[in-house]
Amino acid sequence: MPAESTADADSVARFAADLRKLRLEAGNPTLTHLQRETGISRSVLSDAFAGRRLPSARTVDGIVRICTGEPHVWIDRRDALAGMTAREAADPAVPTTVPDDEEPGDAAVTPPAARPMRRRTAILLAAATFVLGSATTGTAAALVTSHLHQEQIRALTPPTAPRIAVQTGQDPAHTECVDDASVATGDTRADNSLLEIVWSNKCYAGWGRITRYDGLYQGNTVTIAIYPQTAPNGPDRQEATEHDVQGAYTTLVVRPSPDTLLCAEGSFTVDGKRIDLGDPICI
């Protein structure tokens, strides 16, 4: 997949989609393999493929070389996008904060559909239809935008009591958990799908989220589950299956203790055939 050379018609989302296609054409190497070969962290690689921010030239060069592309073409395209991003940063309505753990040079980019929202807006969107005809749960992709390293989540010390009292099984869109929610970890899986865990430290709770990018949502289902690692099929397991959607999210799981990992797994169907997304991700 050659890099798009027309900057005027380009976007970070399109750039990320083309990176995902390049990765698939190269045999879909895992993030672990890419990390080992490039020396770039999984979180930065995941952000690049998900389009959460414009990757640095170093990240683009590493990905494209491993995926047997032409680095100079992709880097030229990346630099053109960086110039567009810099101009957009002058607009105060566009968030420009870069997380402290970000690789130097990875410009923060928040697509219009993923800008932070007030809780009321999030709740309304959670009750509306998803873009391109999807249903309620697909809109959860707009609830959160920032990113935390897995190690940071594990190091969090729970407060004496969560600042926001919630219960396992509640819809996060109907709580104040969305106010400080962040993507704690995520991974690109089969057919360009994205598996994520979203975390609220104020609620000390998380929920799973899955997004498919194959465009084959009509007539098919998306399934996402989150659970304490100590009891994958226990009473706290939260699972959601949605029809005719591009994405879905689970209800909340309150973390029972600092030492208990929360894990998410997912799947979707294509013409009735189930596509399993592999090993769970955990925080």
The string of pLDDT tens digits covering residues 45-68 is 988 999 888 999 889 999 999 998
List beta partners, residue 267: 223, 276
Band (126; pLDDT cuts 50, 70, 90): very low
Q: How far is CA 80 from the centre of its chain?
A: 24
Q: How far apart are CA 124 and CA 30, in angstroms?
A: 36
Taking residue 60's Cβ as centre, other Cβ atoms within 10 Å add up to 25
Least confident of 14-28, 103-117, 146-160, 221-235: 103-117
Q: How far apart are CA 244 and CA 217, in angstroms?
A: 5
Q: How far apart are CA 183 and CA 145, in angstroms?
A: 7
Q: What is the mean pLDDT of residues 116-143?
A: 36
Q: What is the dihedral of CA 176, 123, 112, 107, to 10 degrees?
A: 20
Residue 99 has pLDDT above 50, yes or no: no
Determine contact, residues 100/147, Cβ cutoff 8 Å: no
Token pair 């920032």 in the structure block, residue: 146
Of residues 188 and 108, more confidence is placed in: 188
What pLDDT was estimated at residue 282? 93
pLDDT tens digits, 229-283: 999 999 999 999 999 988 899 999 999 988 899 999 999 999 989 999 999 999 9
pLDDT tens digits, 63-98: 999 998 999 999 999 988 888 766 665 554 444 433
What pLDDT was estimated at residue 141? 37
Q: Which two tokens mark 39?
A: 């020396």
Candidates 3.30.70.270, 1.10.260.40, 3.30.420.130, 1.10.10.10; CATH matching 7-108? 1.10.260.40
pLDDT tens digits, 140-189: 333 443 344 455 554 455 555 688 999 999 999 899 998 888 888 889 89
- Among residues 221, 226, 233, the alpha carbon closest in space to that of 193 is found at 221
List beta partners, residue 44: none
Q: How far apart are CA 207 and CA 251, in angstroms?
A: 6
pLDDT tens digits, 196-228: 999 999 999 999 999 998 888 899 999 999 999
Backbone phi and psi for residue 84, each to the nearest 5 degrees, phi listed first: -65, -40
Q: How far apart are CA 223 and CA 193, in angstroms?
A: 12
**CB-hemisphere CA count at 13 Å for 71?**
11
What pLDDT was estimated at residue 254? 96
What pLDDT was estimated at residue 2? 57
- The residue ranges of every structural domain in the chain are 7-108, 116-282
What pLDDT was estimated at residue 213? 85
Q: How far is CA 280 from the centre of its chain?
A: 14
For 33, 59, 197, 212, the CA distances from 39, given in Å and listed in that order, are 10, 9, 24, 27
